[in-house]
Amino acid sequence: MTYTIEVNGVKRTVDVDGDMPLLWVLRDVLDLKGSKFGCGTGLCGACTVHLDGEAVRSCQTPVSSVGPTAVTTIEGIGATPVGKRVQAAWLEVDVPQCGYCQAGQIMSATALLAKTARPTDQDIDAAMTGNVCRCATYTRIRTAIKKAAGMNTADAGAL
Ligand code: FES
Ligand code: FES
């Protein structure tokens, strides 16, 4: 069956099974490989994209459920003001180690900051808890989120 979804501002029509996860559609059909496959069971966050600005796990999102909501991926997040700030902070702090989880981390961080301009540590914990980093870059992620929010990052390393 064909589905037309809006991805990074562009309408794309795909001919796939309705239960195909959005992650598969993005990576294997639309060749947008920035969103990563980690666990495939909603537990790691590597596949995080936005649906109308909400961070969702694309491995758990059947393409048939997307409908008219706007899909934003790591390839498109830099076109949004908050996403651009987050990416700049990520570079400045040099967050990634292996990098595998980082697209998902940036998507979750951007969704957080779009709603909560100056997040508390609890806000950050709540928003980022489902994004696992096997390289344990959590301290730098927290620093980068605060930097993107224009907050004091001097004590971020001790958090
Ligand atoms: S691959 Fe989707 S949450 Fe792990
Ligand atoms: S940077 Fe390696 S898994 Fe996060």
Q: Give which of 25, 103, 117, 122 is closest to 66, Cα–Cα.
A: 25
Q: 159 Cβ partners below 8 Å, 6+ apart?
A: 121, 139, 142
Q: What is the pLDDT of residue 157?
A: 47
Q: What three-state secondary structure class fits 152?
A: coil
Strands 48-51 and 10-15: unpaired
CB of 83 closer than 6 angstroms to any ligand 1 atom:
no
Tell me which of 98, 138, 142 to substitute to probe ligand 2's pocket, judged by most ligand atoms within 8 Å of the beta carbon.
98
Q: What is the residue whose two structure tokens read 């649906």?
A: 51
* pLDDT over 50 (residue 159): no
CA angle 126, 128, 133 (to 5 degrees): 145
- As a whole-number percent, the residues of the chain with pLDDT over 70 amount to 96
Architecture of domain 77-148 in this structure: Orthogonal Bundle (1.10)
Task: Enter the pTM of the model.
Answer: 0.95
How do the domains of the chain map onto residue ranges? 2-72, 77-148
pLDDT digits over 69-93, tens only?
999 999 999 999 999 999 999 999 9
Tokens of 46: 């590597």
CB of 38 closer than 6 angstroms to any ligand 2 atom:
no
Class of domain 2-72: alpha beta
